[in-house]
Structure 1
Amino acid sequence: MLDIQRIIQLKARGESNRSIARLLGINRKTVNEYILNLGGADKDFSELSRLDEQSLAAILPEPKVFNKPQAYQDLQDLVPVYQKALKKSGFTYLNIWEEYRKKYPDGYGYTQFKEHMQQAFAVQQASFHMEQIMGEKLLIDYAGDRFILTDRESGTTRPAELFIAILAGSGYTYVEASVSQQKASFINSVRRSLEFIGGVPKLIVTDNLKSAVTQAHRYEPELNKDFKAFALHYGTAVLATRARKPKDKALVENAVRLVYQRICFALKDQVFFDLHSLNAAIRPLLDLYNQRMYQQRQTSRAQLFLEQEQPLLSPLPAQAFTLITYKQATVQKNYHVFISDDKHYYSVPHEYIGKKVELRYNESLLEVYSSSTRIASHPRSRKSAGFSTISSHMPDNHQFMQGWNMTDFLAWAKSKDPIIHQYVETVFAQRAHPEQALRSCWGIQRLGKIYGIDRLKSACIRAADFEQYGYKILESILGQNLDQQDHDEEQHYLPVHDNLRGATYYH
């Protein structure tokens, strides 16, 4: 769905189908088909960009499964393996083809096989100078060498990663030290690089980092869900370079080398105790690097950026991207879901008890979704074993209970009769905590509705005579009509108790 939303977003911006396919790394026929399906919605792309996931899903047909063209695709996947084999002694096109036909009996014949192999090798060995377009690409990578941070008290050291981003058109560069290459750290570094350049390019080109790519692939690497959401938020596309192909990212590889020379070398003898001080030392050296004149051009990276590239960047969104964590959960019997990160429970409408839901949360907000529809939203809480509960999520009887406290029950009892008030006061007094008496008092109030206040008053008098205080004793008295006996007569009766069966039990 994120891919579909990006297609709509780029189409609303005026991009062609071919351009969208190139920016998103999606087959052009796939882009054409999605746009054709969206055309039946009788909405322009600006209107479609404002629809939520559920509304878009209703417009699109069920997804189809596309199979790769077998013979050609299978052979292309084997080219790197066969290329290595041919470098070894004794391997020829013929014996490799025989091995290939054993694996794929319906594959190419020998002549076509050899032709395709030779063509693939020729293409692999070719090099191409790519003219970089202003405002199109931001290349990002991590340097191989890392800075060292030293603990001020213990003297122990730990590494800090060096993140580098470079605009392909002007060469304008951003550098920062970060905690790690983990997803949260990586996405925040990319966000800060966009804030540094003050705009958004059409395409972000990244290495096959685990923080960005879920599954590496020669042709169509799969981006992780969080980085797709990041790209959607900033209105850009992401392209992952091929694994172990330095030519795909030659510009940023060269930038890494220059950063070593102009920034890292200048800081090599300094000791840093935290990331803040390290990045504070990097920033003035980075500014000098961007202002340094190119050797063969009478201009600098900063000048090229300000004059030619910055005006072509899309504006930053009003709010910065916040990393969202996605998890699946089952709504518990208490109509809450549990977030293990917080060790905290959050409520959802009670109708969803037992159902699977999707949790989406960032540093400050948790949202609960069912079938792409948001059903609950809570501020994040770090209170361990705590509960965040919204009253409207409760069943009616639970909402009623939540709305009452000790003061309310005492006021109700006082409004009915002084004896009932005294009885309810004693119920609260005998419990270790007022909340323990709330359910009992709720039951007493219910008895008053069923049997009437006069009978409830008589039952309270009888129960108090036996120093029994609570809902069950009153229910027993009223249920057996013992409250309607004369006061003198009731003195001859044993206290009411479930285990006292009476003479009639033996008849």
Structure 2
Amino acid sequence: MRRIRHLLTMHFGAGASARLIARELGISPSTVREYLGRAIAAGITWPLDVDATDEILMARLFVNGGVRLGARYHAEPDWAVLVREFKRPGVNLVILWEEYRATHPEGYAYSRFCELFRDFERRLSPTMRQQHVAGHKAFVDYSGKRVPIADPVTGEVRMAEIFVAVLGASSLTYAEATWSQALPDWVGAHVRMFRYFGAVPRLLVPDNLKSGVNKASFYDPEINRSYAAMAAHYGVGVLPARPRRPRDKAAVEAGVRFAQSYIVGRLRNVTFFSLGECNAAIAVALERMNNREMRRLGVSRRQLFETIERHAMQPLPQDDYEYADWHLARVGIDYHVEVQSFFYSVPHALIREQVDTRATARTIEVFHRGKRVAAHVRRYGGPRHGTQPEHMPSAHRRYAEWTPERLQRQARGIGPNTEALIIAVLARRPHPEQGFRTCLGVLRLFRGLDAVRVEAASLRAVEIGALAYASVASILKHRLDRPTSPQATDETPLLHDNIRGSSYYH
């Protein structure tokens, strides 16, 4: 369903053709047309409703089974022969189609014949002349060159990356320095790029950088989820360049080279002491570059952008995109999920279910099957558990077997000290359910150990207040459950080569 949503976003939101969508998703154009036909037949409007979960969307799209569109039902000519004939002087597609229909009167109509011919021809030739439509594409990439930035206190030099974006039609260029090519810097650079353009293109064409594309593939590229969420926020599609196909991103490659000479080359003798200072200098050089008249066209990039491209682009959304990390998580038996060592509650009916977590600087959101089921203020300190009362189980719990009594009974089978440890762990939490995870971990640590040692370790943990899983594990690892004494059993001092006597201090 995630790929179907991507398909709908690219078509309705970005206006991409079925061929471009098919190329990005690694499916045939006929399959794309089939899904679009189903969406139209189901009356699905754009943008999708907020409550349109995966289950609701699936039910609406596949209610009638449908008929496969774009299938090939008629006899086809030898396309390789037709391609060779097409190269002959005076031969065009009309002549070839008329000869085809003379042999196959029930064959394809002219429009479908031309479409199939072009599809076959494209498979033969990997190169094509790119003509960029105004407002259609923005090419994004990182420059291979980096900028040194010196620490004003220590003098340590740190290298910064240069992000470059170029609009396809006007070649308007944006550049900035970031500390890395990691996902937060990559997404943040896009947000500032859109703000600089003041509008949004219909498609982004990134290189196969790991921050943008998890899996580079001509047939089935896998877009990073946080990057895809940013693109969805701005209503822009993502069409990665093919691996090892530099002509797919020729515009940005030219922009990168020009930026390297115009920005990096001119600033090579300038010493920067902060990232902000570097970006301020890049912004000045960028304005000179975009306002400089292009020799062959007689106008500047900025003038070309304002004349032909700005009005063809989509408007910016009201708010900038806020970067978020997405992760898969499994709901524990205490109906909490873990995000960066803190725990956040979800409805207890989701125990043991797999969910998606979305973490921003301020909030933690949890999604189950495309529907948000919980939202919390992000925690950076204080209690590790954030529990909302409405998420707590009622008297009829779905997993009633996990109770404090059961955990105590299991510990009692080992010994009284172990039972005391489990009781102390549960009593330390505001809600006993929050201690289930720790208790299970502690009991799992004790598996296979001698009961005498387990009892000694439990006693040691209770005495020193070590009521966390990591603390108990440390006691066992370092054998702190075993009593130690600096003297021998007969109370005489121990003698050893590594022990310095009193004579050492005279």
- TM-score band by shorter chain is 0.5 to 0.7
- 3-state SS, counterpart of residue 254 of structure 1: helix
2:157 aligns with 157
1:21 aligns with 21
| Shift in Å, 1:385 | 4.8
1:225 aligns with 225
Alpha-carbon separation, structure 1, partners of 2:350 and 2:301: 56
- 3-state SS, counterpart of residue 140 of structure 1: strand
| Shift in Å, 1:248 | 1.8
| Shift in Å, 1:223 | 1.7
Give CA deviations for 1:291-332 in whole Å, capped at 9, x if unaligned.
Answer: 000112221000111121111100111222223322233333
* CA distance 1:4–1:164, change in 2 (3 Å): same
| Shift in Å, 1:32 | 1.4
Give CA deviations for 1:62-103 in whole Å, capped at 9, x if unaligned.
Answer: 999xxxxxxxxxxxxxxxxxxxxxxxxxxxxxxxxxxxxxxx
1:161 touches 1:177 (CA, 8 Å); kept in 2?
yes
Task: Give the percent of matched residue pairs that are identical in Structure 1 and Structure 2.
Answer: 33
* CA distance 1:298–1:261, change in 2 (3 Å): same
Matched letter for residue 239 of structure 1: L
| Shift in Å, 1:14 | 9.4
Q: Identify unmatched segments of 5+ residues in structure 2.
A: 67-120, 397-426, 432-506
2:192 aligned with 1:192, yes or no?
Answer: yes
2:275 aligns with 275
1:123 aligns with 125
Give CA deviations for 1:377-409 in whole Å, capped at 9, x if unaligned.
Answer: 1011111552222122224589xxxxxxxxxxx
Q: TM-score, normalised by structure 1?
A: 0.62
Alpha-carbon separation, structure 2, partners of 1:175 and 1:184: 16
Equivalent of 1:381, from 379, 391, 396? 379
- 3-state SS, counterpart of residue 190 of structure 1: helix
Equivalences, count: 346
* CA distance 1:122–1:371, change in 2 (3 Å): closer
Alpha-carbon separation, structure 2, partners of 1:14 and 1:219: 20
- 3-state SS, counterpart of residue 378 of structure 1: strand
| Shift in Å, 1:170 | 0.5
Alpha-carbon separation, structure 2, partners of 1:121 and 1:144: 32
* CA distance 1:212–1:47, change in 2 (3 Å): closer
- 3-state SS, counterpart of residue 175 of structure 1: strand
2:354 aligns with 356
Alpha-carbon separation, structure 2, partners of 1:281 and 1:157: 18
1:36 aligns with 37
* CA distance 1:281–1:9, change in 2 (3 Å): same
Task: Map residues 85-484 of structure 1 onto 2, 5 A cutoff.
Answer: 123-124=125-126, 127-339=127-339, 341=340, 343-383=341-381, 385-396=383-394
Alpha-carbon separation, structure 1, partners of 2:211 and 2:13: 28
1:187 touches 1:323 (CA, 8 Å); kept in 2?
yes
**Higher RCO, 1 vs 2 (CA within 8 Å, ≥6 residues apart):** 2
| Shift in Å, 1:123 | 3.0
Alpha-carbon separation, structure 2, partners of 1:12 and 1:225: 20
* CA distance 1:60–1:201, change in 2 (3 Å): same
| Shift in Å, 1:347 | 1.6
Give CA deviations for 1:392-442 in whole Å, capped at 9, x if unaligned.
Answer: 2224589xxxxxxxxxxxxxxxxxxxxxxxxxxxxxxxxxxxx99x99xxx
Alpha-carbon separation, structure 1, partners of 2:3 and 2:202: 15
Q: TM-score, normalised by structure 2?
A: 0.62
1:103 aligns with none
2:23 touches 2:218 (CA, 8 Å); kept in 1?
no
* CA distance 1:312–1:2, change in 2 (3 Å): farther
Alpha-carbon separation, structure 1, partners of 2:307 and 2:317: 22
Give CA deviations for 1:206-257 in whole Å, capped at 9, x if unaligned.
Answer: 1111111111123432222222222222111111112222222222111111
- 3-state SS, counterpart of residue 334 of structure 1: coil
Q: What is the Cα-based RMSD across aligned positions, in Å?
A: 3.3
Of Structure 1 and Structure 2, the greater helix share is in 1
1:345 touches 1:385 (CA, 8 Å); kept in 2?
no
Alpha-carbon separation, structure 2, partners of 1:3 and 1:240: 15
Alpha-carbon separation, structure 2, partners of 1:37 and 1:385: 49
- 3-state SS, counterpart of residue 165 of structure 1: strand
1:163 touches 1:176 (CA, 8 Å); kept in 2?
yes
* CA distance 1:6–1:177, change in 2 (3 Å): same
* CA distance 1:311–1:203, change in 2 (3 Å): same
2:132 touches 2:168 (CA, 8 Å); kept in 1?
yes
1:149 touches 1:158 (CA, 8 Å); kept in 2?
yes
Alpha-carbon separation, structure 2, partners of 1:292 and 1:136: 23
Alpha-carbon separation, structure 1, partners of 2:2 and 2:349: 29
Alpha-carbon separation, structure 2, partners of 1:370 and 1:13: 24
2:499 aligns with none
Alpha-carbon separation, structure 2, partners of 1:183 and 1:197: 21
1:230 touches 1:321 (CA, 8 Å); kept in 2?
yes
* CA distance 1:203–1:372, change in 2 (3 Å): closer
Matched letter for residue 365 of structure 1: T
Q: Identify unmatched segments of 5+ residues in structure 1.
A: 65-118, 399-434, 440-507
